[in-house]
Amino acid sequence: MERARPGAEAPAARLTTPAPPGSPPGVSPAGTTTPARESLRDVRLRLQNQVMRALGSGLNLSDPVDVRRQVEAIIARIVTQEGFALTRAERSRLLEQITNEIIGLGPLEPLLKDETITEVMVNGPRQIYIERAGRLERADVSFANDEHVMRIIDRIIAPIGRRIDETSPMVDARLEDGSRVNAIIPPLSLVGPVITIRKFAATPFTVEDLVRFGTATPEMFDFLKACVEARLNMFVSGGTGSGKTTTLNVLSSFIPDDERIITIEDAAELQLRQRHVITLEARPPNIEGRGAIPIRELVRNSLHMRPDRIIVGECRSGEALDMLQAMNTGQDGSLSTGHANTPRDMLLRLETMVLMTGYELPLRAIREQIAASVDMIVHTARLKDGSRKIMTITEVLGMDGAEIITQDIFDFDQTGMQDGRVLGELKPTGVRPTFATKIKDRGVEVSADIYGPLLAATQDADAEAAAAVSGPVAGYSEPVRAGGMVYLSGMGPVDPRTGRVVGMALQEQAHQCLTNLKARLEQAGTTLDKVVWVTWVLRDADDIDTVLEEWARWLSEGSPARQVSALPVIQRNGRFRVSVAVIAEA
C-alpha cells in the first residue's frame, strides 16, 4: 500500500447533487455514478470528528444556541477547506445531525421532537421503531454501531445518577420532559443495546384532550372529579401502554390546590401542577449492590411527612400493603396504578403483591384490607385499533362471605368494527354507587343524571327478554292483577334469557332480582314507585342490610312497608340466596 507523502491531504470525498426524476438509477446528470448513501454518512462522520476536535473539551453544553452557532461556523469552514459539494438541504441536515450528536440524543432527537410519536423503541443500532396513533412503524434512522447506542444511553442516565454496565445491565430513567426510559444491554440483550422511551407531552393532557381522543366522556370525568374531591381511594388498572399514567395525571389534576401531595415513583414522570407537591424517587443500588431505596421504604417514610394524599406511580410488589394501610389510616383520597387486564384482576394482583411482603397473612384478612381501603378501580385499555379508553369505572362494594364484590358504574359497550376502528359507546350502567352518600356528605355535588337512567344498561334488554320468554322460568314469575293491584312473588336472581342463577355474590343476586322485578312490573303496566308492600326472602337473615342498601338505590323516595322471611325449604338446596315478592298499585 502506497503511503501518502508527508503534508499531502487525503482525497476529499465529493458529493454530487441528487439526480433529477427520471434519470437512470445510480447515474448523475453528468453521467457519473451517484455516490451511495453511505458516502454522505461518511462525510457526516468526518465532519463530526473534526467539529469535536475543533470545539475541544471546554465546550459549554448548557447553551444549545451558542453550541449550534459554533458548530455551524466550523462546518462551513471545513466544507470550504475540504471542497465538499453539498446542497443547501444536505448542509442543513448535516448541521442538525451533528448538533444532535453533540448536545442531544443523536438519531433519536427528531423522533422525540415529533409530537405525533408516542413511543420510541431502539432494537440494537439498526432497528428503530416508533408508535404513532397506536400503531408500530419502522423509523428511517439508525445508529452507527453498538457503541453509538451506548453513548446515547449514558447521556440519558448520567444527569440522574444512574448507571448501566455488565454488572448492572438494566436501568430505568427519565428525560428532562418526564418521558420514561428503559434500557437493557448485552449480555441480557442478544440484539445489542435496547432503549424504550415512553414519550410524555410537553404539556400534560387535560380532560378536554382525553374527551377529544375518545378516552372517556365528559360525564365520566365529572364523576371522577367528584370522587377525587370527595377523597375516595382509587387504583388505575390496565395493561402496558393502556394510558394508566396519563389517566392518573388527569385524576391528580382534580386534587385541590391547598393539599399537600407526595408522589412516589421509580422514575419520576407524573406531571402535577399543584403548588404543594413533594416528588420522591426510588434509588437503585450502587456499584457495590448497596444503597438501594425501594418504593416501599419511601411509602413508609412519606407517612411521617404529613401528607394529605399519597400518589404511588405504580404498585408492583410489597409496597401495595403499605399503600393500602395508608389509604385506610388517614391518607384517604390516595391514588396509584397497577398492571391488570380487568378490575377483578387488579384486586387479585393486590392480593398477590401483599403476599410478596413475606408476611404470612390469611387471604381473608388481605381481602378485608383491600375491600376496606379501595373505593374504586378505573380500568384502562388499548384497543385493537390503537385507541386508548377508560373501559370501566368499578366500585369496590366490600366483602360478601370470603369474596370481594364489585359493581360497574360506567363501562364501554363495544358494538363492532368499521374500517379498522372499534365502534362502541362509553355510558353509565344506571347503578348508583354506594359511596354516593359519602360524596354528598363531603360537600361535593353530583347530579343524579350523571349515572344515567335507572338501570339503563339492562332494562331494555330485560324488557325484551321478559317479552320473549316462552313458558315458565323458575324464579321469573308472572304478575297477577286483582282488585286494582298487581301481585308478584318468587322473583329470584335468574337471567330470564338463560334461566340460570346469575352468581353467588349477594349484591349480584339482589341486583338481578330487582332487575327482573322492574321488568315484570312494567310488563304489567306499573312501576317500582307503585310498590306498597315488599317481602324479602333470605337464606341468611343477616343479609338483610346488604339487600336493603341495594333496594334503596332503586327507589326515588323512601322504602314501602316490608317484611323479611326465611327461604322456603324447596329453595334451600338451590343457589338462591335471596328472592323478592311485592304488591303494587296497578
At 538 the pLDDT is 87
Which three cell numbers mark 268? Answer: 419520576
Q: How confident is the model at residue 23 (pLDDT cuts 50, 70, 90)?
A: very low
Q: Note whether residue 394 is domain-resident.
A: yes
- For residues 503 and 444, state if they share a domain: no
- For residues 433 and 473, state if they share a domain: no
Q: Note whether residue 389 is domain-resident.
A: yes
Angle at CA 100, nearest 5°, toward 97 and 101? 90
* Model pLDDT for residues 564-584, shown as the tens digit of each residue: 666 654 444 357 888 899 999
Q: Note whether residue 288 is domain-resident.
A: yes
- For residues 500 and 400, state if they share a domain: no
Task: Judge contact between 581 and 537, C-beta under 8 A.
Answer: yes
Q: Note whether residue 14 is domain-resident.
A: no
Q: Which of 198, 226, 242 is the last residue of a domain?
A: 198
What mean pLDDT value characterizes the chain?
82
Mean local confidence (pLDDT), 172-192: 91
Is the pLDDT at 487 greater than 90, yes or no? yes
At 460 the pLDDT is 43
CATH number at residue 475: 3.30.1330.40
With pLDDT > 90 as the criterion, what percentage of the chain qualifies? Answer: 37
CATH number at residue 303: 3.40.50.300
Q: Which of 61, 76, 103 is the last residue of a domain?
A: 103
* Model pLDDT for residues 237-294, shown as the tens digit of each residue: 999 889 999 999 999 999 999 999 999 998 778 888 899 999 999 988 877 778 889 9
CATH number at residue 178: 3.30.450.370
CA distances from 414 to 361, 411, 530, 577 (A): 40, 10, 35, 32
Task: Judge contact between 26 and 35, C-beta under 8 A.
Answer: no
At 304 the pLDDT is 92
At 568 the pLDDT is 54
The residue segments making up the domain with residue 465 are: 456-585
User: Amino acid identity of 115?
Assistant: E
* Model pLDDT for residues 360-375, shown as the tens digit of each residue: 889 999 999 999 999 9
Q: Note whether residue 470 is domain-resident.
A: yes
Least confident of 30-44, 75-89, 274-288, 419-433: 30-44
User: Amino acid identity of 258?
Assistant: D
Least confident of 26-35, 60-69, 250-259, 415-424: 26-35
Higher pLDDT: 497 or 11? It is: 497
Q: Left (φ > 0), alpha (ψ -120 to 50) or beta: where does 538 sit?
A: beta
CA distances from 462 to 132, 457, 518, 519, 525 (A): 42, 10, 9, 6, 15
CA distances from 323 to 249, 337, 364, 393 (A): 18, 11, 18, 20
Is the pLDDT at 330 greater than 90, yes or no? no
DSSP string of 443-456, one letter each residue: T----GGGG-STTH
Q: How confident is the model at residue 63 (pLDDT cuts 50, 70, 90)?
A: low
Place of cell 451506548: 150
Place of cell 384502562: 380
Q: Which of 137, 167, 198 is the last residue of a domain?
A: 198
- For residues 375 and 393, state if they share a domain: yes
Number of domain units in the chain: 4
Is the pLDDT at 127 greater than 90, yes or no? yes
- For residues 397 and 515, state if they share a domain: no
Q: What is the pTM of this model?
A: 0.68
At 261 the pLDDT is 95
Longest dimension (CA), the chain: 121
* Model pLDDT for residues 185-243, shown as the tens digit of each residue: 999 999 999 999 998 777 778 999 999 999 999 999 999 999 999 999 999 999 988 99
* Model pLDDT for residues 71-107, shown as the tens digit of each residue: 777 777 777 777 777 777 777 777 777 777 777 888 8
H or E, element range at 410: strand 403-418
